[in-house]
Every structure is written in structure tokens, then in C-alpha cells.
Copies of this chain bind each other. A is one copy, B any other.
Amino acid sequence: MPRYELTYPKEVHNTVKRYNSRATYALKTIHAIIDEAQLLHVSFQPDNSPFPAILPMIGAMGSFARPSADSGDVLDLYLHGYVSSRLINISRAKTGTEEGKEGAKDETPAGLPVTIAASHVDGLVLALSPNAHSYNYRSAVLFGYATVVTDVPEKLYAMEKITNGVVPGRWSQTRVPPNNAEMQSTSVLKVRIVTGSAKFRTGNTHDERCDLDDESVLNSVWAGVLPVHTTLGNPIPAPYNRIKPIPEYLEQFRTDFNTRSHATAVEAAVEPTDGKMDTDLQDD
């Protein structure tokens, strides 16, 4: 655990301009939002298109150099990919040779510039006026350079980290290690993080004075929060599954996940609303 709370530097691309009280640059907060997300959205700018690409991917924060690092430490983001995909191919091309590697004199960082976003909706905030409607949410964004992991022990470390990020402890409960064909067909991207930020909203509705003073509005509009949470339903075994009943670690994961997910949504709604007006989510 770091002795001080580490924060990402404020750069032009990650500085949150609106609702500063809702923003944080703390590594611990940002990394937790990333790790809790089942899906990450990874964006990069292809050379041959005016449009950025966005891919839904699975990933996990980690540190191969210091596996005991906690979520508030400096970490890399590992992403799981398929060997022939466009993202992997472009990243491989930009992974560079010796001169592109860390510690080299070349000023161009090795790797493909990527942006990674993770967002959780915790509640629908239904106010008296449509303009004061909002969401309770947590969102994080990371900026960094993606390279292809070629070192086999690091690749295995990342694959285990990503699998256990989906279901804690799952890796050791499956057929491991991956065989040669599997190691060949799967690529892992490592994103060296340059900076990042997180934003969130908690609380109940926050309406304008003109509506709060209007009897006809108060007497006609329901105001409040509908909590939103992700639920893991009853397991549906594969036709060839032989393990009955479902193992304890999976059932425990399901229970813990659902309890935490529900509690997060309810707690977000009952926390104090910050003093600013709601008009939307984004503030960039």
C-alpha cells in the first residue's frame, strides 16, 4: 500500500472542467471503477478513418513487476484480445523495436495511444423538471500507450488477472495452463497509463428553486431515484457440465456480487447530493 494517496497528473485531455467536486484523480478510485466494470470501452484513432474506433473489451489493472501492488499503486491495464484483430495488429506495429522501448532516448512513446472508459449507472435521478434529471453514476477514463505482451510469464500473469477479474478465483478452477495453440491465438495488450480521471454523482434529486416553490409542480410530479444495479441470475449449466451443485466459490461470488451491487446503488441514492445543479453526465 502506498504511504500517500497517488493521483494522476492533470493534463489537457483528462482535466475535468465542470462539476469539479464530482471529479477525482486518485489512482485508487479510478482503478477500482475500471476493475469493477465487466466491460471496458477502448478507443483509438485509426490512420485511415475520420472516426475513432471503439471496442468493448475485458481488462484488469495489474503490475507484473510488483504483483503485490494494491489498487492505489501505479499499475498497468491489461486487455484481452485476439491475435489477428486490428487493434492488436496496430499495437504490435507500434510496440516498436529496441529504440521504442522504455528507457530509450526516443521521445515518441512506444505503443498505440488508447483511451479506456468504464462507466457504471447507479440510479435514474428523476427530478421535477426534465432538465434536472440525471443519473447517479461512476465513470473513469484512462489514457495510455498499448503494446503487445510478448513475455510468456507476463502474458500468463495477465490472463490469470483478467480471468479472475471476471470471477474471483476462477483461473485455478479451470483447465490450466493454456496449451500452445491457446497461447498463440490469444494476445494480451498492456497499456502503460499516462493519466486518467474519474467522475461520479451521488444523492437524490436536486431541483431548481422555482420548481421547489411551485405547489402545482410539487403536487403533480414524482421526484426521486430509481436505483440501478447489475444482477447475476441463477446459473445455467452447460449441457456437458458434470459438477452439481454449483461450486461454493461461484455461489459465494454471485451472492457477494449481487449484495454489493444493490448496496452501491442504494447508498449512492441516500448520500448527500452535491451542491451543483444537474444537467447531464458529461462535463468534458
Contacts and interface: CB of A to CB of B under 8 A. Distances in A.
Interface string A191-205: 000100000000011
Nearest to A231: B231
Given A43-B115, A280-B58, A235 B242 contact: no
A18 interface: yes
Contact of A38 (B18, B141, B228, B265): B228
A231 B50 CA distance: 37
A48 interface: yes
Interface string A103-135: 000000000011111010101101111110101
A284 interface: yes
A54 B139 CA distance: 11
Given A119-B56, A174-B129, A186-B279, A238 B224 contact: yes
Contacts of A82: 18, 279-280, 282-283
Contacts of A167: 124, 126, 226
A12 to B, nearest CB: 6
Given A87-B284, A130-B163, A130-B174, 10 more contacts: A57-B280, A85-B283, A87-B282, A173-B222, A186-B279, A222-B243, A222-B247, A224-B236, A224-B237, A226-B233
A254 interface: yes
A39 B154 CA distance: 34
A130 B178 contact: yes
Contact of A230 (B85, B137, B228): B228
Contacts of A262: 231, 233
Contacts of A81: 280, 282
A57 B137 CA distance: 11
Nearest to A83: B279
A184 to B, nearest CB: 11
Nearest to A218: B242
B224 A166 contact: no
Contacts of A282: 42, 55-57, 81-82, 85, 87
A46 interface: yes
